[in-house]
Amino acid sequence: MPRRPAPDERLRVMPWWLVPVGLLLAVLLGWLVLDWLLGEADRAAQPDTRATLRVDAIRTGLTVVAGTGGGLALLLAGRRQWISERAQRHQETVDARDQAHRDRAQAHTEAVAAAAQRHQDRQAEAAEHDAAERRVTELYTRAVELLGSDNPAVRLGGLHALDRLGQDNPAQRGTIVAVLCAYLRMPAPDDDARETEVRRTAQRALTRHLRADDDAWRPGVSLDLTGARLDAFDASGCTLVDADLRGAVCAGTTRLTGATVRGRLQLAAATFDELVLDGLTGDAEVLLDDARCTGGVSLDRAELRGGLSARGAILGRFSARGVTFHQPTSFDGARFTDGASFREAVILGGLALDRAEFAGDADFRAARFADLALFRWTVFRDGAWFEGARFEGPVNLGRATFHGPVTFGGATLTQRPLVDRVRASASAAHVWPEGTAVSALDDDWLLLTDP
């Protein structure tokens, strides 16, 4: 395929001799036409008209010469116009290329300047970050050194320094929480009032920043207080994620009133003087297995969507009035040393109290059992009150022992309860579910059996 010339290809210069050659050809053509016309006039015309014809032939020949010359002149004028337009297009192309080159050069200059500025900014940021990190490291190291002092007053200063450091540096909050938890897990001297004050300050530094309405720290920082020694620990209104207090020794009243718990709330094998969980909410599984609460536990109006397990726990006086359990709840083997109240509780996922022991009253008035309720081998040493309760699932009282009065007055049962080998005191007044078979076992005990 032949190559198409570029628009700006250099023009070939027309040779100078083409102009005289063109004029010569015009004259020659006119001469030939004149000669031919004169010859024709001499042969065809009459003698009286020959002169007129010859004049016409001469005029025609001159006209041919003039027309040919005019055509050549028009051709030259057209070529000049074409050359002028092509030169203009070439100039426009050159100007456009020059402008594009200038634009590219300007853009390159601006890009280089922007890259240089970004590099300088990164260097400045890196330098600032390094300086800030060094400053944070120095402050953190100094605060930890203060926290390790033998002087309680100096340790208080270290705690406040850590607290301030966490306020100003969000990235360090997790580390600071871990340090405070580690301090609380360390053994503490007995009966040292100054050390108790230091630990209370550490506790307040933790819980103050875990409250949901505190924007200074992110709520939801995990607490590892395994085996810690705490004094009047108060996490009311906090958001706790996977809080671990297994084996902790908690003096005074431990409060999680209105707290929100997620993941797991580990309280297993911990020791509490008193534990208040009123209004506790969240989807965490609460584990109280083998815990000891000498002063009692309060769960009033709590709403637990993750279940509760208190197997083998010693719970003192237990109160769960108006509580809502969404998942299976187990108190197998638990001991309620001062009675328990589940009045108006809503138990949606089943309740297991196998081999539990109630040293005082067991109050289940107006409670709702939406699923299985197990009281097998349970010991009730005082009254057991089920008045107005609703049992929507199976109820198993097999081999339970009632030392005090029992009443199911006004209770609603969708199916007859299992009462195999249930024993009840013969000296107390009882109101059993309709259809329950009762017989005297001896002078002191009544025996309930399934029909």
The mean pLDDT of 232-240, rounded to a whole number, is: 92
Which helix (H) or strand (E) segment holds residue 62: the answer is: helix 50-147
Q: How confident is the model at residue 12 (pLDDT cuts 50, 70, 90)?
A: low
pLDDT tens digit string along 120-172? 888 888 888 777 778 777 877 887 888 888 888 888 888 888 888 877 777 77
Which sequence spans correspond to the domains of the chain?
A: 18-113, 220-449
Q: Does 22 score more than 90 pLDDT? A: no
Q: Does 2 score more than 70 pLDDT? A: no
Q: Does 46 score more than 70 pLDDT? A: no
Q: Are 413 and 435 in contact (CB under 8 A)?
A: no
Q: Does 73 score more than 90 pLDDT? A: no
SS3 217: coil
Candidates 273, 363, 339, 264; CA nearest to 307 is 264
The mean pLDDT of 252-267, rounded to a whole number, is: 94
Q: How confident is the model at residue 51 (pLDDT cuts 50, 70, 90)?
A: low
Q: How many CA atoms lie within 13 A of 281 on its CB side?
A: 6
Q: How confident is the model at residue 45 (pLDDT cuts 50, 70, 90)?
A: low
pLDDT > 90: percent of the chain: 53
Residue position matching structure tokens 């993750």: 306
The mean pLDDT of 50-67, rounded to a whole number, is: 71
Pairing of strands 422-425, 445-449: antiparallel
The mean pLDDT of 109-127, rounded to a whole number, is: 89
Query: What pLDDT sits at residue 320?
Result: 97
CB neighbourhood size of 18 (10 A): 11
Q: Does 79 score more than 80 pLDDT? A: no
The mean pLDDT of 8-16, rounded to a whole number, is: 61
Domain 220-449 is in which class? mainly beta
The Cα angle at residue 87 between residues 86 and 92, in degrees rounded to 5? 95
- Look up residue 372 and give its two tokens: 């299985």
